[in-house]
Structure 1
Amino acid sequence: MKLTTKGRYAVTAMMDLALHAKLDRVSLVDIAERQKISFSYLEQLFRSLRQAELVVSSRGAKGGYMLARDAKEISLADILIAADEKINLACGGGNTCDDTQPCLTHNLWTNLSREFFEFLNSKKLSDLVRSRHVQTLATQQDVTQIGDIPIQISRY
């Protein structure tokens, strides 16, 4: 399994949204600026995330996105599945392998796929954003420059 840009960006955007959840609604423009992701690409991703009921949106001047449920209830697997990532590590033996006529390594890859999914499902969005590394980077992203003086942007 190779994680595509779509999956990586979906996780990054959801982490950004979780980090800024106290702001109420978060605009895609803000996420795009902080994470250096194309706005139009984020629009496509958030369409999938909204359909998977991971985020909710509102329109208008104070519109934006929010998590649809608590970050403790959203797993890494949920996000990757919403982004249409393939989490299956099956042997993919083509015409020579399937569940009815398995190849020699079929059970190995099937079991590994199950364990990998369980691992991704156990990693909650809340766990990801609590790490010291993520918190440090998020703080740095919320600092801007006015002249030569760095200032902290307070959104509370």
Structure 2
Amino acid sequence: MVSTRGRYALRVMIDIAMNQGDGFVPMKDVAQRQGLSLKYLEQILPALTKHGLVKGVQGKGGGYRLTRLPEEYRISEILHLTEKELAPVSCLAEGAPECSHRSECKTIAFWEGYYKVINDYLESKKLSDLL
């Protein structure tokens, strides 16, 4: 399941893409349009900035803008940044130890297929698809 942080990060990226024009989008404007608290955005935007998805500028005329065109962002990139894990079961999580029951597990093929469908879908969608 995608967390609130992941859903909000996606909404923030869409809002910035739709409102940046040639300038920067103030965080308070994003918060107001999206109905989100500034405190929550103060947690999300630095992570997006640190990983190069947005550029932030402080001061008058400052705010945030995308570092690339919307069609150059994959939804998977945004969600993998905000989510600890997208695997449907713990045994498929990145870095998980090998499950001792894997060889006789009747459901592992199902979960692997499910995970592949989700990952392929997220990889196939671009930020521009949501604008």
**TM-score using structure 1 length:** 0.73
Structure 2 residue 110 is matched with structure 1 residue 108: yes
Task: Sort the Cα spacing of 1:64 and 1:96 in 2 relative to 1 into closer, same or farther, 3 A.
Answer: closer
**TM-score using structure 2 length:** 0.85
Which structure is richer in relative contact order (CA contacts within 8 A, separation 6 or more)? 2
The structure carrying a bigger strand percent of its residues is 1
Moved more, 98-107 or 120-129: 98-107
Structure 1 residue runs without a partner (length 5+): 130-156
Q: Which has more radius of gyration?
A: 1
- Percent of residue pairs bearing the same amino acid type: 33
1:135 alignment partner in structure 2: none
1:59 alignment partner in structure 2: 58
Structure 2 residue runs without a partner (length 5+): none
- Please give the secondary structure, in 2, of the residue aligned with 1:26: coil
Alpha-carbon offset, residue 111 of structure 1: 2.2
Residues 91 and 105 in structure 1, CA contact (< 8 A), matched pair in contact too: no
- Please give the secondary structure, in 1, of the residue aligned with 2:6: helix
Partner Cα separation in structure 1 for residue 59 and residue 97 of structure 2 = 52
2:129 alignment partner in structure 1: 127
Residues 73 and 124 in structure 1, CA contact (< 8 A), matched pair in contact too: yes
Residues 9 and 78 in structure 2, CA contact (< 8 A), matched pair in contact too: yes
